[in-house]
Structure formats: structure tokens, C-alpha cells
Amino acid sequence: MKTLFIFLTLLLTSPLFAQVDFRKEYYPAINRAEMAITQDDYQTAFTAYQTAFSAVKTPLARDIFNAVACKFLLNDFEGAKPLLMKLAKKGIPGSSLELKEVFMLDNIKSQWNSFKFLYEQIQSMPQEKIIVGLSDKLTLYNSVYDTLNANSVTFFVGEDGKGQQILSKNLNSSKTNKALTKKELDANYLLMAGISKELFNKAQETLVDYVISEGFVAEEVMFVEDSDFLRNSFAWNIEKYRFRMYFRYDGGYSTEVKPFSGISDEKKKEFDYKILESVSQGKIHRDLALKLLFGYKSDNKLLFTKINVENIENCSLDLKEKTYSLLYYKSPGPNLDAESQKTLEELVLGDNNLLFEKAKYKVLKNSYFAMSSDAQMEETTVPNCDIAKQIIEKANIIKD
């Protein structure tokens, strides 16, 4: 009996049954895969994805999709089939996949059409393990939210050139020439403002308290329902209620309401901790966590500027293709505080070079992969190189 007890103890504490930390076992390989993608090395990327998937029980939908894209670009549809089955079991409709450009490749279309029937059979079999109490609350909030949105007031200029107010729900109807009276507008605004404040406070408290208590609702519980393979309905609700709607009033101004202003700083920290814990447990993708954390400032992003120069005569700049210079620099947004920076490094494992390469890849050439980045691309045209040089000199250049 003693021997049996020792055997069971060893078995239950072995790595097979231990909780895998995705940040240590999964994401290092995902980092290698994503870096290989930015270098158009799809075979290396796929090999790294295989390593990541073998380390955990339930790989995440976004990474599975990217591995499928690698196989497609390697012209290996057969090799993609087991991964497509994993996406089907996560409830992702075939119609959503067909909207992605990699599924539109000529060498993929016919093979996908032949395989689609089997995919949809598998996709229809799993059932969401929806938490009824939470689901009922989210449905209630969404119903009231949609009603408020439909009855919010929009200002526009009519055909007679005069400003008018109209309910949002009537914007697409033919009866858009009747302005609300001042009395109707006042009553409508006060009603919406009062209900909105109460609604959003309750919604925010409920969602934050649920995450603090239970962690994040995983892909295996609520299916992924997002074109970028990140969010389920629970995640969408958290993002929706991070910001209250703006109600325009008395001439068209709006008042910004601070996100989650009713949530204490202590609870925000507990929320962030639970989000990080959910990433470690593989419930959600780290890319989604970066969108949800209170402490992470997403406006600390990379800005890419393409400068077109009309006249390059007597130009001292080293212009690529002698037509433009591509410039990368950081947005002058606020720096991360120490705690937020630590959180960011924990999620991306301190690989700032990968962050930059992913951002550059996304804005310059990505057509096939699901890849998050806060990078933005802008384009400007200047008459000569002197002005282009002035822009470059003012920029905090990372790489050119």
C-alpha cells in the first residue's frame, strides 16, 4: 500500500500532470515562429509552431491559424488538415476562414472547397460550455446598450443647410428631415445619461469582479468569434464596457468619460494579475491580454512614415529605389511606468526586436497572418529632399 501511495504521488506530480506555464513553455517557440514569418521563412516558422503546440494541451486559435497559413504558403494543404480540425473544434466557422486572404490563394481554393464539408461537420459538433449566470448578465447589458445606442442623438446638416438632430436608429430611414424639439432632446439626453451611468457601472463591476474571482473565460469555454482569432463574446464585452458611449448634446459636443472610472486601483491591479494568470494558463492569447490590461498603455506604439519626394534632383538622402525614404520612429506618447513595462516584458519575454519586426511586417507586407501590433502607417508627400530631411531629423529613428 505504501508503495502504491508513493507511485501515485510521483505520478500526480510528474510533468505530465503539472500545470504548464504558457509564458515559459509555449511563447518562446511562438516568438521564433513569428520572427521566421517576418523573414518569409515559413518552414522554420511551422517547425517552431509544432514545438509550441507539442508543449501544451490546448494551443491557441490565433497561432493555429498562423501555422495553417504557413502550410498553405508551403503548398502543403494535406499538412494543414490536422490544424484545420483544431480550428473547427474551437467553433470557428468555415465562412470566417474564407474571408482571410490566405484562403483565397489559387492553389488553396479548390482543396479547401473539397475539404470544407468535413470541416463544417466537425465545427458543428462541439458545444460551448457557456456559464449561464454570466451569459444572462452579458445579454442584459448588451440589450440595454443597443437600445441606448439606437436612441442616442446624432447631429447632422440637412439639405436646407440647417443643423438637425435625429435618433441614430432613424439615420438610414427616409424620415430624416424632422428635427427633435429642444424638450424632446433634453428628455432623451437625461434618460440616456442616467441609464447609461447605472448600466455601465454595473457592467464594469460585474465583469471586473468575475475576472478577479474566476479568471478569464477560455477559448475552450466560449468559442473564438473574431476575425483575428483572439476574442470570444466575453472578451468583446470587456472591451465594449471599457468605454462609455458619448452622448452628444446641445450643439454637438461630447464629454469623454474615463474608462472604468468606478473601479478602484486595487481592483484594477487584481484584474491585471488575473489576466496575466490566464495567459500563463493558456486561457487567452497574450496579444489579447495586451488589449485588456489596465496597466498597459497601448498608445506607446510605433509609427511608420513613408515619405514620397516629388523632386529628387541634387538629393543628398539615400533614397530606396530613388523614389522614397521609409522612416520608422516611436510615437511621442507617454512612456510606460515601471510596473507596466515589467508586465509587457513578461508577456513578450523581453524580445523588443520581435515587437519591432512584427510591427514592420504588419504595416509593410503582411497579407496572410493574424498578427497584432500597435504600429500605424502614414504616408506623406513633400516637394523636395530638404523638407524630407527636416522630417527625418525630427524623428526618433529606430531603423531606416
C-alpha closest to that of 65 among 50, 46, 87 = 87
What confidence score (pLDDT) does residue 280 get? 92
Shared-domain flag, residues 167 and 286: yes
Evaluate whether residue 3 is within a structural domain.
no
What confidence score (pLDDT) does residue 110 get? 94
Evaluate whether residue 297 is within a structural domain.
no
Shared-domain flag, residues 184 and 286: yes
Shared-domain flag, residues 98 and 139: no
pLDDT exceeds cutoff 60 at 15:
no
pLDDT exceeds cutoff 90 at 239:
no
Shared-domain flag, residues 235 and 310: no
Q: What is the longest distance spanned by two Cα atoms in the chain?
A: 92
- Which H or E run includes 38? helix 27-38
Domain final position from 100, 123, 146:
123
Evaluate whether residue 5 is within a structural domain.
no
Give the phi and the psi of residue 329 in degrees, each rounded to 5. -155, 160
Look over the chain and give the mean of its residue pLDDT values, rounded to a whole number: 76
Evaluate whether residue 254 is within a structural domain.
yes
Shared-domain flag, residues 48 and 139: no
Shared-domain flag, residues 169 and 273: yes
Using only C-alpha atoms, the chain has a radius of gyration, in whole angstroms, of 25
Domain final position from 266, 292, 318:
292
pLDDT exceeds cutoff 90 at 11:
no
Q: What is the C-alpha separation between 210 and 173, in angstroms, rounded?
A: 40
User: How many domains does the chain divide into?
Assistant: 3
Band of residue 304 on the pLDDT scale cut at 50, 70, 90: confident
Evaluate whether residue 1 is within a structural domain.
no
Evaluate whether residue 7 is within a structural domain.
no
Domain final position from 292, 317, 347:
292
Supply 47's cell numbers. 517547425
What confidence score (pLDDT) does residue 397 get? 61
For residue 37, give its domain range: 13-123
Shared-domain flag, residues 248 and 371: no
